[in-house]
């Protein structure tokens, strides 16, 4: 778009506050790639990532008048898009918790994980090995089966099953560690 570089951050913000479609588009174009890459770190489904990213930008435009210019605009937008990611995974959190404890002897008890939020689960998923995390997200969050995951990631179904099992074991250990820390702080 002609003149895109000429718009300062302040001009973009002021234009967005005035609900100028041109300024909203400029802001969106300037930060979309970065925010989309962030969304794609949490889901490999392009459609889901696009929906989350666009939900985030919608929130940005609704809240732009609250931007206090403390820190970078990109950081502020990143936090809002991250909250859109969080909202998406909050809807999935109970299912993800179930997936961690599924196929294990002990049954999931809601008291096992007091104060466990979607953000905690997302952070925990980031702590496990990348391939196991990717398989877990594809299986538990996006609903792919092991054959589809194997085709998508270039591995056998059995390797996909191993990565899912590995992810569950590691997530379970992280959840149990968090629970012990919670009990220790509470006691």
Instruction: Tell me if 3 is assigned to some domain.
Output: no
Q: Is residue 97 part of a domain?
A: yes
Does residue 21 fall inside a structural domain?
yes
Q: What is the pLDDT of residue 116?
A: 56
* Strand boundaries in 109-163, DSSP class E: none
The CA-based angle 61-64-8, given to 5 degrees, is 100
> Taking a C-beta distance cutoff of 8 angstroms, is the pair 136, 163 a contact?
yes
Q: How many domains does the chain have?
A: 1
Residue 142 lies in a domain: yes
Q: Please check whether residue 34 lies inside any domain of the structure.
A: yes
Residue 54 in this model has a pLDDT that exceeds 70 = yes
> Helix-strand-coil percent breakdown of the chain, rounded to 5?
75, 0, 25
What confidence category does residue 112 fall into, taking pLDDT thresholds of 50, 70 and 90?
Answer: very low
* Whole-angstrom distance, CA of residue 176 vs CA of residue 100: 11
**157: in domain:** yes
The DSSP secondary-structure symbol of 74 reads H
Give me the pLDDT at residue 114, please.
47
Q: Which domain holds residue 95?
A: 9-186
Predicted local distance difference test score (pLDDT) of residue 187: 57
Q: Which CATH number covers residue 137?
A: 1.10.1740.10
pLDDT of 118 > 80? The answer is no
For 127-174, write each residue's pLDDT tens digit: 899 999 989 888 876 667 899 899 989 999 999 999 999 998 998 888
Question: Residue 1 domain-assigned?
Answer: no
pLDDT for 150 equals 92
Distance CA(82)–CA(64), nearest Å, equals 16
DSSP assignment of 14-64: HHHHTT-HHHHHHHHHHHHHHHHHHHHHH---HHHHHHHHHHHHHHHHHHG
Asked whether residue 141 is domain-assigned, the answer is yes
Per-residue DSSP letters for 80-95?
Answer: HHHHHHHHHHHHHHHH
Tens-digit pLDDT profile for residues 57-109 = 999 999 999 998 887 899 899 889 988 887 787 666 555 554 555 444 343 34
Q: What is the model's pTM?
A: 0.54
Matching residue, tokens 């909050």: 90
């Amino acid at each position: 778009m002609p003149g895109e570089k000429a718009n300062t951050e302040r001009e973009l913000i002021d234009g967005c506050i005035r609900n100028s479609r041109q300024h909203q588009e400029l802001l969106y174009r300037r930060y979309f790639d970065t925010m989309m890459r962030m969304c794609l770190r949490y889901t490999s489904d392009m459609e889901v990532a696009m929906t989350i990213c666009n939900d985030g930008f919608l929130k940005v435009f609704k809240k732009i008048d609250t931007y206090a210019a403390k820190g970078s605009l990109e950081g502020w937008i990143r936090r809002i898009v991250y909250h859109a990611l969080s909202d998406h995974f909050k809807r999935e959190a109970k299912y993800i918790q179930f997936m961690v404890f599924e196929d294990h002897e002990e049954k999931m008890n809601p008291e096992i994980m007091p104060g466990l939020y979607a953000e905690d689960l997302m952070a925990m998923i980031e702590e496990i090995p990348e391939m196991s995390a990717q398989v877990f997200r594809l299986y538990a969050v996006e609903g792919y089966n092991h054959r589809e995951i194997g085709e998508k990631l270039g591995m056998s179904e059995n390797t996909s099953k191993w990565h899912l099992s590995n992810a569950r074991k590691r997530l379970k250990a992280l959840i149990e560690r968090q629970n012990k820390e919670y009990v220790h702080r509470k006691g």
